[in-house]
Amino acid sequence: MLNYLWLAMILLGIGWAAVTGRLGDVTKAVISSAEEGVQLSIILLGILCLWSGVMKIAQKGGLIRSLTNVSKFLFAKLFPDVPKDHGAMGAMVLTFAANFLGLGNAATPLGIKAMEELHKINNRSDTASDAMILFIVINASCLQFIPTNVIALREAAGSANAVAILPHVWISSSISTITAIIFYYLFLLMEKRRDYSIWHL
């Protein structure tokens, strides 16, 4: 999927630029993209080290196990393939917590950590596991309590009440998260059915 999307964006972009005579802009964009990619990973490097280090202390102190125990019921239901005291559980719980509080920059390294942990219990090295899919779609549906960036931008634009949209955000992000979970289960059902029919043909 990503292979096609990546290819399509680049082909469409360059093709359209050739038609409209914007190839000069595209040339600049190509060169700056290498720079931006490196800049972004250097920005992430420090925070990745920091959160991985802090997470290691939490893991060794048994905090992750306690945290997971608290939310065990819900998470055990959603992620039946992940052992309850596995590092993946804790990393996922912390990622959701960081997203929930609008700490997007902290959530990315935590999420990558969670993916690495999930990969350890994935028996197909090049294919996403069920738990990975659900983890990512919940993240990508952005269950959020405090959208820090948006409030700051509204304040900057001179809003009379910058936080007035918070209840709207809560409703809307809950709807998208619930949709993500429903379609995850629908997808699993569809996939199972398809495999099943192939098996019998």
Q: Which is nearer to other proteins, 36 or 85 (CB)?
A: 36
Q: Which is nearer to other proteins, 37 or 83 (CB)?
A: 37
Minimal distance, residue 76 CB to other proteins, in Å: 21
Q: Which is nearer to other proteins, 54 or 74 (CB)?
A: 54
Comparing C-alpha atoms, which of 99, 101, 97, 64 is closest to residue 83? 64
Tokens standing for residue 28: 């600049």
Burial class (CB in 10 A: 0-12, 13-18, 19+), 32: exposed
What number of other Cβ atoms are within 10 A of residue 147's Cβ? 19
Minimal distance, residue 200 CB to other proteins, in Å: 22
Minimal distance, residue 122 CB to other proteins, in Å: 8
What number of other Cβ atoms are within 10 A of residue 51's Cβ? 22
Task: Assign 124 to helix, strand or coil.
Answer: coil
Minimal distance, residue 35 CB to other proteins, in Å: 8
Tokens standing for residue 179: 């949709």
Q: Which is nearer to other proteins, 86 or 102 (CB)?
A: 102
